[in-house]
Structure 1
């Protein structure tokens, strides 16, 4: 049985961050080192946002962000990267399938809602003409493999991206 008090568990869970996590920073570092430039947390430039609204008047683009608030956005390519924690997003790996021993129904419901919301957000992005990729926390152990997957998804960095890739930028 779990020896952690409800208050201690609440404090622990409250410290878990939703953005700028270690896996996100790792992937951003890989991309930046390879010469890619991107936007964070679902933000897109105003011109891209206006184009999306013109092309899809019924789309809900709250706060100038894409549906689902992707972790990394390549607006010129219309591609978005989600970096998901295995536990929270119910991945098929052992970490994602491990269920807490206490309050089982709450956690099952919460994680299933997250999985459904992920599907809805991906569908909304695809309806807007965007392509998405999900990188799972458990897949990030091999930097070369991660970068190969990202380059395959994104294509090579553009000349403009490479030009802004100097150490002083």
Structure 2
């Protein structure tokens, strides 16, 4: 624990003189905290879909690399069936229905989302070339619809295996 200033409850008081490190994307301490709180896994849409799949008796890997050499993770992976499932956030992956460019630093964030979208397409291509099936859903898609499509795809892929 730091020996800095304490608030009225004896907890460390926030450093009001905080400045972002050189080259940091964080424009303020509050923005930095906000960005660090964003989950990269176990989001509510993912948990809902996984719960429905588990109730159907399906077992899978969570936040796993489908391919050992590919530095990317899928939200849900069925290795024997070679199925990778991604549940993409509307903001971070550029949903055509819900993405709105931010008012603060729009150039940076729009470029970031464009890079994410390009990486998503590259991931899809690499997995397909390796013989995987890729399913992508938006966070706003009904979890029940996603689970039905995933379960049907797993069933089809398992039957197709020799």
Same-fold call, TM > 0.5?
yes
Cα displacement (A) at 1:147: 2.4
User: How far did residue 20 of structure 1 move?
Assistant: 1.7
Residue from 101, 104, 109 that aligns with 1:102: 104
Shift of 1:151: 2.4
Q: Alpha-carbon deviation of 1:156?
A: 6.9
1:137 partnered with 2:148: no
The equivalent of 2:120 in structure 1 is: 118
TM-score, length of structure 2 as denominator length: 0.73
Asked whether the equivalents of residues 67 and 121 of structure 1 are also in contact (C-alpha less than 8 Å), the reply is no
When Rg is computed on C-alpha atoms for both structures, the one with the higher figure is 2
Matched, 1:149 2:149: yes
Paired residues for 1:13-92 under 5 Å: 13-43=35-65, 61-62=68-69, 68-92=72-96
Q: Which runs of 5+ in 1 are unaligned?
A: 50-60, 159-169
Cα 1:8–1:90 change in 2 (3 A) is same
TM-score normalized with structure 1 length? 0.70
Q: What is the RMSD computed on CA atoms of the aligned residues?
A: 2.1
Deviations, residues 33-53 of structure 1 (Å, cap 9, x unaligned): 111001122246xxxx7xxxx
Taking the aligned partners of 1:119 and 1:43, their CA distance within structure 2 comes to 16
What secondary structure is seen at the aligned counterpart in 2 of 1:155?
helix
Shift of 1:108: 0.6
> Is the 2:65–2:72 Cα contact (8 Å) retained in structure 1?
no
| Larger helix proportion of the pair | 1
Count of aligned residue pairs for this structure pair = 132
